[in-house]
Structure 1
């Protein structure tokens, strides 16, 4: 601190009004300013530029209509220009640099949307398709596959989607890379089942999937009219190997243990039963069936350490050549191949980028492990897959790794400070000795692992609660066990088993892996059976998550405790918003063929002949209700024409599924819900029909004390985005065509 600043501090303390509010606020402002100067010396503001780029992506997706790409790039150019013009003014330059990164994130979102633009089906249709099979996910019964469409006939509007995702009930007689012809029944990708919920339609748009449905009849394999591109042949070959290896692991081990093993080795999770998914989810260890960043780091570490020791076995190489750099370069290749071989998801991509940066740092003799690596990984995701920021995988992965790096930085700084300020031994009080001993336990050995796990869990808790409406209190037990299984069983077995599989010598490897999985499943059963193993959390507003996310960023990105303390008020605002959620009393999905209503008892019940399992699970989770969808239909009175129920205030709700039921239900019900277009003379006070849902998407209703109803919709007013087009004003269709377009839901439950 400068002498002038110190004198100013002393003047504030010694002044007669030092106890008044104004001097205290000024002292706090000076402390924050001093802390920021220290952060600048540590080059920490750079990390917030990654956060600014992410904020720009969020602003892009919050836009009500699609912005002009030219306008986005122009705004970025203007921001960069002002950065240059204000380069001699530190505060102004800092402001415009932040705005430039926000504009860059916004432009990246617009650019990505323009790059992946592809046709999307407007409504249900049946057509004849041909194309290359890009990817297959095998299941115990049937399969799900992605078809890269070459031609399509008979679909609405003569649309030819770039890709479609289809299911088949029988065992597929084709492989990834085959050119097939088939007849398919397709729907547009499903939209969010509740306002603020998971929107598969948006994700499908960025995957260039224009329709989902099921294959009808025989799927014929035929010679392609043109050879497949080289990149397609490569990635379909990788998928064939993944499927063959997954099937091999599943058959050798069998049951849920085999399904978990196949997922851990190849990333293919479709063999998992619902019971197995529920068990590991309640134990807080669902990430064992995903190829996580932890596995990527371990694989790269095994390559690096193993190759370095192998090269060091030669005295000539060890003494005359940079074998450490050779090992780092080869480990980079191994990490890249592992990412490709396991499906290259967001979590592994983040870990891949960070791992490549760390290994590249070894090549140029620079420090490798730092928060800047994480920021560079964020820039990579923003540049190439900005939509991933909206997903749970990105949020959980980056929050957890950020917390772990922050703990590592704090530990290193504390140990360095302890060595610098070490003093000759002198008598200490018992309390001081106990404190030092406890701190030593927390900085080394199992204590350090528990502290790191606690911090990572705290950093991800808000995202877990928002995305999955569930928290696992026993995660401090489950995560170390998961780490042990991944480190000693999964990763070594995946590498060794994959190498031995072509020779048919891999059987004993999977038996070894089975031992570890049996152990973790047994322990997961104990954890899941413990009282309070799963804490269900009600849905809360996105603005609350924004404050919670800022609290996490403040806690992990700043190094000074003064600025880290800003996480406390941010977290309090977020927790107040999360705890004060307004809730709902009725939910209607965008399809209009089902609903959930709140009974006088306070529980939800489902209306519909066959409510979608995925949508129903989302509704119950958003209400912090742990029941299975099959247990939430006892109060529903349904027949072939529809369902009838009553809200908590006694108002009747009718779900009309047959046109002949409108006459009676429009006269007696307070709320009519239907996937059809309701007659213009329907007398019900509230009518939610096909036309209304096309404008609003999913709807949630909340009953107010004065008898009024508060509406929340998934689509904004006049929203018009490429994945959520404004409904076209078309002439009324015939009743027969309406009934066909509102047929039963065809898309598979999305996971």
Structure 2
């Protein structure tokens, strides 16, 4: 490692990420001294210790870790927003429009300064409302609106260890979400709506007017970042084929827009000798690409993922301006540091994790093998134009193949952890679809937007429609292959961390010690194979139960709605069908056996008179009386209200019970009633 001293800096964001992750895994919020004292201690230690000594290296690592921890803690204290305490019905309330996300039939509107009809502040932060499009055209003329809506606090996670909407809302400044059935402009508002939202709405409307509904919604997603209008079957097809990343505006899209601007402008300037011979046209092109990428970020809604993608792209362009190598692991590390300092919460989301995993692996591969590949395709000599064109096409195909393979391998653990899904033929789908997206769809969409002030160009819209149809066609072809998608996968967080650290050890170091990184990767795979998934998932209101049978198939019972996301994450089959042969159900509830355990699911109160006389596990949507002596374990309505959704893992005679509260803890963003008990004060 001493011979790889120039690689030490690359571990800075890794230790910062470990500190940030530690903050989010704590069961309770740390105090301000607990956040700042370690940081100051490590700073003092470094000041009196030689940097290149073993002690100095350990102190620097500790400083990075404590810096990430403190940044996350301070971000939570500064930007965190408390949710409303309960559901509210608002009549003739007022608010200020902050952001608009257009959809096909409804629009998501973010409002601030919410006041009820008595002019009292209703929420500490913003409110996200779903509004029918019939109100939008008249309402957006002014920023000040009057509305009637039902709002509620952000929902808790659907399953233990799952996606946490409450945490996201806390850091996004959202106090409530809801649906408005009245939404009118107040013509004495303080100011008209910001122009960027008008532009986004006009672009979305132009695509919907110029293209068929199916492809228009995907075009809207790729330009203004709004995906709610896309058909569910298309979303499922793209996800199962491994192409869902094309819908989320990220580094790929902003990089393509900036790259197209850079190369086209540079080529045009090169045709003008008076400029090409006197001025650094490469830097001029980079200077122009930077504001274009910034405008695209604003058009996409300025969300955290697009901000992160812009930061990464901007650092690359600034490297060009500074005559530094534009793409390197060092610049990837600088981008990660910038994001971990400004938006630490991004670390917990799949967007950050999958983006940096893909970029890190791709850049590492090309740092080590890029020059060799280029020498193979561009040997010394003066080949003809035809030879150069052929070599360029082959090189483009090879780089696309290698990049897709590297990105697919890098993001697979995170896809399995967050979404419980892995596309077996994702490499094939990306090889077929990404070139169409990069060289046809994105240039056509960019040209369409640029020419929009001069009128819709039907030829360009037709070209974009053709490209999107081909992407969807390739996605349908891939999903039609046998076992195209594996759903219901479960990769524990510990396995994801071990795979990430082992892979980074393998990619960052240059000496043979790098291969030691294969050890934690192997241990993580072994841990994943031997880990047991929950046998039962109980929804937080008890309206449905997901049950895993002996053949590992999963079904659900109950009367509640199971979201499409949960169906795919848990691999729940459609329909409320029993998944075990010995299940008996009636209008009052169900009884079945899982392993050696008898389980009763009481849907209505009268079922408790019988269920309380039976041994085993009792799950009830109704409160269970104290004089219920039979069951060994009781989970009733109050337990679900107090602790959230439950997961039960059965192993022989033992029962392992985990809840959403176990994973969330008593944090600022989690409002579990259990945290208000004397034991948690």
Instruction: Say yes or no: TM over 0.5.
Output: yes
Partner of 1:741: none
Q: Give the secondary structure class of the aligned counterpart of 1:44.
A: helix
1:646 corresponds to 2:597: no
Choose from 37, 44, 61 the match for 2:2: 37
Of 56-65 and 667-676, more deviation after overlay is shown by 667-676
2:99–2:111 Cα contact (<8 Å) kept: yes
In the alignment, the residues of structure 2 paired with residue 486 and residue 418 of structure 1 have an alpha-carbon distance, to the nearest angstrom, of 27
- Correspondent of 1:551 among 477, 491, 502: 502
Shift of 1:386: 0.9
Instruction: Please give the secondary structure, in 1, of the residue aligned with 2:90.
Output: strand
Q: Secondary structure at the match of 2:166?
A: helix
> Does residue 458 of structure 2 align to residue 510 of structure 1?
no
Where does residue 435 of structure 1 map in the other structure?
none
Matches within 5 A, 1:411-426: 411-412=369-370, 414=372
Q: Is the 8 A contact 2:549 2:579 kept in 1?
A: no
After superposition, residues 645-664 of structure 1 pair within 5 angstroms as: 645-649=591-595, 651-656=598-603, 662-663=608-609
How do residues 388-403 of structure 1 correspond to structure 2 at under 5 angstroms?
Answer: 388-403=346-361
**Residue 296 (str. 1) matches residue 261 (str. 2):** no
d(CA) in 2 for partners of 1:224, 1:206: 32
Given that 1:399 and 1:552 are in contact with CA atoms closer than 8 Å, whether structure 2 keeps it comes out as no
> In the TM superposition, what is the alpha-carbon distance from 1:663 to its structure 2 partner?
4.6
1:596 CA displacement: 1.9
Question: Match for residue 192 of structure 1?
Answer: 157
Bigger mean CA offset, 582-591 vs 304-313: 304-313
* Contact 1:609-1:638 within 8 A present in 2 as well: no
Q: Does the CA contact (< 8 Å) of 2:35 and 2:70 recur in 1?
A: yes
Q: State the alpha-carbon separation in 1 of the partners of residues 602 and 561 from structure 2.
A: 12
1:93 pairs with 2:51: no
Checking the alignment, whether the CA contact within 8 Å between 2:503 and 2:518 is kept in structure 1 is no
CA distance in 1, matches of 2:675, 2:372: 66
Aligned to 2:537: 587
Q: Which moved more, 1:190-199 or 1:694-703?
A: 694-703
User: Which one of the candidate residues 109, 127, 133 is aligned to 1:145?
Assistant: 109
Partner of 1:16: none
Distance in 1, Cα, partners of 2:421 & 2:448: 35
Q: d(CA) in 2 for partners of 1:225 and 1:416?
A: 60
Name which of 312, 334, 340 aligns with 1:354.
Answer: 312
Going from structure 1 to structure 2, the CA distance change for 1:604 and 1:496 (only over 3 Å counts) comes to same
Give, in angstroms, the shift of residue 154 of structure 1: 9.5
In the TM superposition, what is the alpha-carbon distance from 1:240 to its structure 2 partner?
A: 3.0
| Pairing 1:575-724 to 2, within 5 Å after superposition | 575-599=525-549, 602-614=552-564, 617-618=565-566, 620-623=567-570, 625=571, 627-628=573-574, 643-649=589-595, 651-656=598-603, 662-663=608-609, 665-667=611-613, 670-674=616-620, 677-683=623-629, 684-706=631-653, 708-716=654-662, 719-724=665-670
CA gap of 1:140–1:363, structure 2 versus 1, over 3 A, is closer
Q: Secondary structure at the match of 1:172?
A: helix
- Mapping of 1:207-226 within 5 angstroms? 207-215=172-180, 217-223=181-187, 226=190
Q: How big is each residue's C-alpha offset from its partner over 1:209-233, in whole Å with a ceiling of 9 and x where there is no partner?
A: 2222322x432322466448xxxx5
Cα deviation for residue 497 of structure 1 reads: 0.7
Greater Rg by CA: 1
Write out per-residue CA displacement over residues 4-51 of structure 1, whole angstroms, 9 at most, x where no aligned residue: xxxxxxxxxxxxxxxxxxxxxxxxxxxxxxxx12211xx111111110
The question of 1:205 aligning with 2:155 is answered: no
Give the CA deviation at 1:358.
Answer: 2.1
The count of residues paired between Structure 1 and Structure 2 equals 659
The alignment status of 1:83 with 2:54, answered yes or no, reads no
Residues 517, 170 of structure 1: CA spacing in aligned structure 2 closer, same or farther, 3 A cutoff? Answer: closer
Secondary structure, in 3 states, of the residue corresponding to 1:486?
A: helix
What is the rounded CA distance, in whole Å, between the counterparts of 2:102 and 2:126 in structure 1?
Answer: 19
Contact 1:293–1:351 at 8 Å: present in 2 too? yes
- Measure the CA separation in 1 of the matches of 2:374 and 2:401: 21
- Does structure 2 conserve the Cα–Cα contact (< 8 Å) formed by 1:347 and 1:397? no
Deviation digits for residues 276-316 of structure 1 (CA, Å, limit 9, x no counterpart): 11111111111121212122112112222222333344433
Residue 484 of structure 2 corresponds to 533
Residue segments in structure 1 that go unaligned for 5+ positions in a row: 1-35, 423-439, 732-751
Q: Is the 8 A contact 1:143 1:172 kept in 2?
A: no
CA contact (8 A) 2:297 2:306 kept: yes
Relative to structure 1, the CA distance from residue 266 to residue 119 in structure 2 (aligned partners, 3 Å threshold; closer, same or farther) is same
Report the 3-state secondary structure (helix = DSSP H, G, I; strand = E; otherwise coil) of the residue aligned with 2:648. strand
The 10-residue stretch of structure 1 (169-178 or 495-504) with the greater mean CA deviation from structure 2: 169-178
| Partner Cα separation in structure 2 for residue 501 and residue 416 of structure 1 | 39
| Kept in 2: contact 1:544–1:578 (CA 8 A) | yes
Displacement of 1:730: 7.9
Kept in 1: contact 2:580–2:592 (CA 8 A)? no
Instruction: State the alpha-carbon separation in 2 of the partners of residues 188 and 592 from structure 1.
Output: 19
Residues 223 and 76 of structure 1, relative CA distance in 2, 3 Å threshold: farther
Per-residue deviation at 1:96?
A: 0.6
Q: Secondary structure at the match of 2:594?
A: coil
Alpha-carbon contact 1:139-1:271 (below 8 Å) kept: yes
Does the CA-based 8 Å contact 2:421-2:569 persist in structure 1? no
**Structure 1 partner of 2:519:** 569
Superimposed CA distance per residue, residues 72-98 of structure 1 (whole angstroms, 9 cap, x where no aligned partner): 122211111111211255111111101
* Structure 1 range deviating more: 354-363 or 277-286: 354-363
SS for the counterpart of 1:518 is: helix
Superposition TM-score, scaled by structure 1 size:
0.81
Distance of 1:404 and 1:461 partners within structure 2: 14
Q: 3-state DSSP class of the match of 1:303?
A: helix
- Would you say the 8 A contact 2:227–2:247 is kept in 1? yes
Match of 1:183 among 139, 145, 148: 148
Partner of 2:288: 330
Check conservation: 2:643, 2:673, Cα contact below 8 A: no
Q: Deviations 1:406-431 (Å, cap 9, x if unpaired)? A: 11111145469999xx9xxxxxxxxx
